[in-house]
Amino acid sequence: MGPFEIAAIAIIGGLAYSAYETYSKNKHRTNKADVQALEDEIKRLKERVSTLESIVTDKSYQLKEQINRL
């Protein structure tokens, strides 16, 4: 192998490594608007779950369930 082949292989390897590094950095990039929308949806869902938990754990609700079972 001559010096030109070795240089060509080194250049191609360097370019491949640079492309892979760029790909790796951009792969995990997220859109801030999407993240904010998901956080808002999670907040709304937590509020809904909290409301449902308060309804189900309410004594009058439990009493109604027991009466309906009879």
CA distances from 44 to 8, 30, 37, 40 (A): 57, 22, 11, 6
Q: Please tell me whether residues 40 and 70 are part of one structural domain.
A: yes
Q: Which residues lie below 8 Å from residue 61, measured CB to CB, with a gap of 6+? A: 55
Answer whether residue 62 shows pLDDT above 90.
Answer: no
Residue 68 has pLDDT above 90, yes or no: no
Residues 20 and 46 in one domain: no
The mean per-residue pLDDT over the stretch 59-65 comes to 76
More confident residue, 62 or 18: 18
pTM of the model: 0.49
Per-residue pLDDT for 42 more than 90?
yes
Is residue 24 domain-shared with residue 41, that is, in the same domain?
no
Rg over alpha carbons for the chain, rounded to the nearest Å, is 30
Give the residue numbers spanning the domain of 40.
31-70
- Once rounded to an integer, what is the mean pLDDT over residues 3-16? 89
* Residue 28, pLDDT above cutoff 80: no
**Taking a C-beta distance cutoff of 8 angstroms, is the pair 7, 15 a contact?**
no
